[in-house]
Amino acid sequence: MHAAARYGSPASLSVATVDHGLRAGSTAEARSVGERAAALGLRHAVLTWEKPRRDGQIQAEARAARYRLLSAHAERVGAEILLTAHTLDDQAETVLMRLIAGSGPAGLAGMRAERRLTPNLRLLRPFLSIEKADLVSYCKAHSLSFVSDPSNGDERFARARLRRLMPALEGEGLTASRLARLAHRLARDDAALAATAAGLFKEVTRESEGEGVVVDGRRLAGEADALVLRVIDTALDAVASQLEGERVPRRLERLESLVLDAILPALARGDTIRRTLRGVIVSVGSSGRIRLTPAAPRRMR
């Protein structure tokens, strides 16, 4: 906030703090940000998360809620850019967490320095190549008070446990800067792969006469596995977006099982199969067509 006000135009800036209400003192901290914003001549709003939470997924739910609230606020104030202060250290922790979770190249590319949140809003992370220690030094140099979030040391959360391990990993050469460099390289390669897969998707797919998408499986089967995975993943997303209710989380191993263990062998043998993933029915016909349609909602008993 201070850097944006210092190098930008205060009149064009608006500040928002999300109060998740997850710990004592969060409301006072949000209020203190508002006081700091007022001293800089900036508008400030506190956005409160009041939805029910599930303990096992609290951090993931808080993150999703944070971006929903910020995106909605940006629309209200007419903002086209959202700035956050994620650092190189945050990037390293994200890559390490995704490595442990078994993510593929897209996940290991970490947080992007820029991505589109909505058609009218871009998220920018200008400090993603800056170490947290440098950000702390900036605050001290400008006499800016800052808060250390106690949840950062709460070992109930995986990110906090990994943060404790980082000094030992750095002693073996796995530094935060190397993890961030890995993310940068994979983001570069992932962008090239995504562009190629997007072009292929247009070539081999068409909308079904009813709901869903039809893929030319025989044409697709001649491509590299990495591209086949991307095309089917995109087709699944296209159909899943039509479904009501909570979206099913993406799991790379499930996609790999569907494509590499079921679809491609069926196409090679000329077999027919029927599978379900992310609420989408995937059928391979003897003609080589892959049809993806929304599955009927499950009935609650």
CATH of the domain at 32: 3.40.50.620
Last residue of a domain, one of 98, 133, 159: 159
Question: Which residue has better confidence, 20 or 182?
Answer: 182
Distance CA(164)–CA(180), nearest Å, equals 18
Residues 154 and 25 in one domain: yes
Give the model's pLDDT for residue 159: 77
Last residue of a domain, one of 159, 176, 193: 159
Distance CA(274)–CA(263), nearest Å, equals 9
Question: Residue 154 falls within a domain, yes or no?
Answer: yes
Residues 132 and 262 in one domain: no
Last residue of a domain, one of 159, 177, 197: 159
Question: Which residue has better confidence, 31 or 301?
Answer: 31
Question: Which residue has better confidence, 60 or 30?
Answer: 30
Q: Tell me the CB-side half-sphere exposure of residue 272, using CA atoms within 13 A.
A: 4
Q: pLDDT band for position 145 (50/70/90)?
A: confident
Largest CA distance in the chain: 70
Mean per-residue pLDDT over the chain, rounded: 89
Question: Residue 98 falls within a domain, yes or no?
Answer: no
Question: Residue 92 falls within a domain, yes or no?
Answer: no
Q: Give backbone dihedrals phi and psi of 104, rounded to 5 degrees, phi first.
A: -90, -165
The DSSP H or E segment spanning 132 is: helix 132-141
Residues 141 and 219 in one domain: no
Total tally of structural domains belonging to the chain: 2
Q: Look up residue 84 and give its DSSP letter.
A: -
Decide: 172 and 80 in contact? Cβ < 8 Å: no
Give the model's pLDDT for residue 210: 66
Its domain, for residue 234, covers: 208-294
Give the model's pLDDT for residue 8: 84
Digit-coded pLDDT (tens) for 194-236? 999 999 999 999 987 667 999 999 999 999 999 999 999 999 9
Give the model's pLDDT for residue 56: 58
Question: Residue 63 falls within a domain, yes or no?
Answer: yes
Question: Residue 253 falls within a domain, yes or no?
Answer: yes
The DSSP H or E segment spanning 215 is: strand 213-216
Weakest mean pLDDT among 82-86, 150-154, 253-257 = 150-154
Q: Is the pLDDT of residue 249 over 70?
A: no
Q: pLDDT band for position 91 (50/70/90)?
A: very high
Give the model's pLDDT for residue 139: 93
